[in-house]
Amino acid sequence: MDMVLTSRWEEPLVEFLCSHDEPVLSAGIVDKAGAMPFLGREAGAVPEDQEELERFLTGLRSDRVVHGFNHPCIHNARILRQVGGYDSRFLTGMQCFEDDSLLLGYYYYYGTKAGWHPKVNCNSVVYHAVALQRLDLKDSIMPNYNGLVKQYGAMGLKSLSLLHASPWHRRFFGDRFQNL
């Protein structure tokens, strides 16, 4: 399985979005290696039994909101409508970089002066086998990457290298910004 959501995983995210001016909020994750990348810690071996996994994930919750973005996430519909989503005229490929386009839209919506960045709410923890990476940067994703650069330019790449918390994303976008 790629992703397992605990029962009522979305409630802490919705509650937070209702009481804070945020456009999007992600759940905390545990990956297949038992890592909790946004907290920089190991959770241990991930149980295979569904009921044990539910208890395991629920026991990992903590009252922390940290810098980061992943799936699953919940968007604030009002702000998403104001931002307008991602522009499919630029992202014409099958997949990839739609989230980055939305993150830049939110970043510009709040103004760069405000220093907005995406957040992970650790009051909800789910299992996501593979997260925080793009496994294969094949030709199929290049139309969207090129569209992202066409729409947001060099400063978009630079901003994405700062918006993301994961070292992989920071390197990916930072290297591409430096090599323009």
Annotated domain spans of the chain: 3-173
Q: Which one is predicted more confidently, 137 or 164?
A: 164
Percent of the chain with pLDDT over 90: 84
**Looking at the predicted structure, is the pLDDT value of residue 110 above 80?**
yes
Mean pLDDT of 107-116: 91
**Looking at the predicted structure, is the pLDDT value of residue 101 above 80?**
yes
- How far apart, in whole angstroms, are the C-alpha atoms of residue 40 and residue 25? 19
| pLDDT of amino acid 131 | 56
Task: Give the 3-state secondary structure of the chain.
Answer: CCEECCCCCCHHHHHHHHHCCCCEEEEEEECCCCEECCCCEECCCCCCCHHHHHHHHHHCCCCCEEECCCCCEEECHHHHHHHCCCCCCCCCCCCCCHHHHHHHHHHHHHCHHHCCCCEEEEEEEEEECCCCCCCCCCHHHHHHHHHHHHHHHHHHHHHHHHHCCCHHHHHHHHHHHHCC
Mean pLDDT of 7-25: 97
| CA-based end-to-end distance of the chain | 38
Max mean pLDDT among 29-33, 127-131, 140-144 falls in 29-33
**Looking at the predicted structure, is the pLDDT value of residue 136 above 60?**
no
By the 8 A CB rule, do 178 and 171 touch? no
**Looking at the predicted structure, is the pLDDT value of residue 62 above 50?**
yes
- The mean-pLDDT minimum among 53-67, 95-109, 127-141 falls in 127-141
| pLDDT of amino acid 138 | 61
Percent of the chain with pLDDT over 70: 95
| pLDDT of amino acid 132 | 46
Confidence class of residue 113 from pLDDT cuts 50, 70 and 90? confident
| pLDDT of amino acid 111 | 86
- How far apart, in whole angstroms, are the C-alpha atoms of residue 115 and residue 117? 7
> Whole-number mean pLDDT of the chain?
92
- How far apart, in whole angstroms, are the C-alpha atoms of residue 68 and residue 88? 25
Between the CA of residue 142 and those of 19, 66, 91, 136, 154, what are the distances in Å?
38, 30, 10, 11, 16
